[in-house]
């Protein structure tokens, strides 16, 4: 009888301990900060909080930057949305995964040995007790099925679009290129009449609705904006904020590409995008910039709506915010209107963090990588580091505990084409070993390639240590069929496995 009584008491004690342990886990998860993850497509650094170029108007983004830490020298890992976003969400470099082009969301983690068992950023939060939600453009299209507990999806394409459109078609007499590589939706104008007809506005409505709900665990909320991605259409009122007479065009030299290696010229062969010379001759240059700035101001307004909803919610004081863009965007620099390059204006993009335990009103000029978003959010949220992350947490730099000297940012565009930003210089090495080198202290516009200048021999040699040691073949599910160079490179590198994969929205 005593033995049975002892067993009964022991069972009660074990049960109580188990309930206490479960309560502790739940309490720990509840005390974690929420995360608001804001992605803006094709947003360059023409923001008020950065260089205020061409009198851009971004009061809400500027306010967010002032409330936290602004990284003024952040760079993407690929100057193309698909591979850039895959890198951010997997925490791996394109050179590690071979995801150099557009990859269907469901194929980012398929038979690829580098990614097949990777944990995507939102999944890591879910695995650590978070309720995850997402809407809009987050991966290349939206997100793989099951990555979010709640997914608001994404409106197909980049509309709405007027019935009559001017769509850029710069192929001229190159019928072969037009047949094989198609064209993009690069056009611009005032449309539609109301913000409420814009998918981004609807995505913000969805986000605000969820910020007004109660949750029994911390949340990870991801919001992906489509604008300012082409086509550059937003309502007229946003154009009115940017009169043509007040617009300053981007720095440009017509002979800028005379000292660029052949591979660099091939990569920059973008007949599907308007050329700067065409924009000058037709008088469209300022109009394109006006449309871009109008789209940026529209997105800024929508971000303001989200931030106001957060401030008025019960989550205002316990939410980590990150705002980022997948790459820069050239508005006439280096001869075109596009991302698609290893130069400064294509790789540089906004990155900022705010929230609990984030310093306020701090700007950091050291070069950093978008790859660092994953590990930085984990540390800011008090979660254990993910050993597969190839980026570094930026928290020590934010808090002044790590020296900013010696940090660098690596961008990759196709196999064995790399660009490195560090110490006020940019070094580019292409697949055939040819190089570019720029001294940003003397030449911020990267107009003079100093790769053959003996005065920079030591600096160039030092940069080579940053080049990746792994340069994977193209992932068979990844391609960029709108660019002749990359179609050719994948076929050369992968052989018979290098056949282009048809990807919806491949030009974007």
Residues serving a catalytic function are 81, 140
Q: Cβ distance 329 to 346 under 8 Å?
A: yes
Residue 258's alpha-carbon distances to 278, 304, 418, 447, 448, in angstroms, are 19, 43, 20, 10, 9
Q: What tokens does 135 get?
A: 């809407």
Tell me the C-alpha distance between 289 and 25, whole Å.
Answer: 52
- Residues sharing a CB contact under 8 Å with residue 277, sequence separation 6 or more, in sequence order: 254, 335
Tell me the C-alpha distance between 9 and 30, whole Å.
Answer: 31
Coil, strand or helix at 232: strand
Closest CA to 84 of 66, 102, 61: 102
Q: How far is CA 385 from the centre of its chain?
A: 21
For 43, which DSSP code?
Answer: -
Torsion, Cα 69 74 77 81, to 10 degrees, reads 80
Tell me the C-alpha distance between 12 and 18, whole Å.
Answer: 10
Burial level of 259, CB count in 10 A (0-12/13-18/19+)?
middle
Coil, strand or helix at 228: coil
**Could you give the residue ranges of the DSSP H alpha helices within 381-468?**
395-398, 457-463
Tell me the C-alpha distance between 408 and 93, whole Å.
Answer: 14
Question: H or E stretch including 39?
Answer: strand 34-40
Tell me the C-alpha distance between 102 and 406, whole Å.
Answer: 32
Going by their DSSP bridges, the two strands 418-422 and 425-429 should be labelled as: antiparallel
Q: What tokens does 503 get?
A: 């990807």
Strand intervals (E) in 217-313: 219-225, 232-234
Coil, strand or helix at 160: coil
Per-position b or e across 12-29, b if 16+ CB within 10 A of its CB: eeeeeeeeeeeeeeeeee
For 449, which DSSP code?
Answer: -
Tell me the C-alpha distance between 345 and 368, whole Å.
Answer: 15
Residue with token string 């920079």: 456
Q: How far is CA 346 from the centre of its chain?
A: 11
């Amino acid at each position: 009888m005593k033995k049975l009584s002892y067993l009964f008491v022991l069972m009660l004690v074990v049960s109580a301990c188990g309930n206490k342990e479960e309560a502790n886990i739940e309490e720990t998860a509840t005390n974690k900060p929420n995360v608001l993850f804001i992605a803006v497509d094709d947003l360059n650094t023409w923001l008020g909080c950065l260089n205020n170029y061409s009198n851009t108007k971004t009061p809400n983004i500027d306010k967010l930057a002032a409330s936290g830490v602004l990284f003024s020298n952040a760079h993407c890992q690929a100057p193309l949305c698909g591979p850039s976003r895959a890198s951010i969400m997997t925490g791996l470099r394109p050179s590690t995964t071979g995801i150099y082009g557009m990859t269907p969301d469901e194929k980012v983690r398929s038979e690829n040995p580098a990614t097949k068992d990777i944990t995507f950023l939102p999944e890591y939060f879910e695995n650590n007790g978070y309720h995850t939600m997402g809407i809009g453009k987050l991966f290349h299209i939206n997100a793989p099925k099951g990555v979010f507990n709640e997914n608001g999806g994404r409106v197909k394409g980049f509309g709405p679009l007027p019935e009559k459109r001017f769509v850029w078609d710069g192929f001229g007499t190159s019928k072969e290129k037009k047949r094989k590589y198609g064209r993009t939706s690069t056009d611009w104008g005032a449309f539609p009449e109301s913000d409420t007809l814009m998918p981004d506005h609807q995505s913000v409505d969805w986000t605000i609705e969820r910020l007004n709900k109660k949750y029994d665990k911390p949340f990870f909320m991801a919001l992906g904006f489509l604008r300012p991605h082409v086509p550059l259409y937003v309502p007229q009122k946003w154009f009115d904020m940017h009169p043509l007479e007040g617009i300053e065009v981007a720095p440009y030299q017509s002979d800028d590409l005379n000292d660029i290696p052949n591979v660099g010229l091939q990569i920059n062969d973008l007949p599907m995008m308007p050329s700067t010379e065409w924009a000058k001759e037709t008088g469209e240059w300022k109009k394109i910039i006006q449309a871009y700035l109008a789209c940026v101001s529209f997105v800024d307004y929508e971000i303001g709506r989200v931030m106001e909803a957060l401030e008025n919610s019960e989550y205002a004081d316990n939410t980590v915010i990150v705002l980022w863009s997948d790459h820069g965007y050239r508005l006439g620099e280096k001869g075109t209107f596009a991302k698609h390059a290893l130069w400064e204006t294509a790789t540089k993009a906004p990155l900022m963090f705010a929230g609990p335990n984030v310093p306020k009103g701090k700007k950091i000029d050291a070069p950093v990588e978008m790859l660092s978003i994953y590990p930085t959010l984990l540390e800011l949220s008090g979660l254990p580091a993910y050993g597969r992350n190839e980026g570094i947490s930026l928290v020590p730099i934010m808090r002044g505990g790590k020296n900013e000297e010696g940090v660098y940012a690596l961008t990759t565009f196709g196999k064995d084409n790399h660009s490195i930003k560090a110490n006020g210089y940019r070094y580019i090495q292409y697949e055939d070993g040819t190089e570019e080198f720029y001294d940003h202290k003397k030449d911020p516009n990267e107009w003079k390639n100093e790769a053959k200048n003996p005065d920079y021999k030591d600096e160039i040699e030092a940069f080579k240590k940053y080049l990746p040691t792994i340069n994977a073949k193209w992932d068979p599910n990844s391609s960029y069929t709108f660019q002749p160079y990359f179609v050719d490179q994948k076929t050369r590198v992968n052989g018979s496995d290098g056949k282009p994969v048809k990807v919806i929205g491949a030009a974007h």
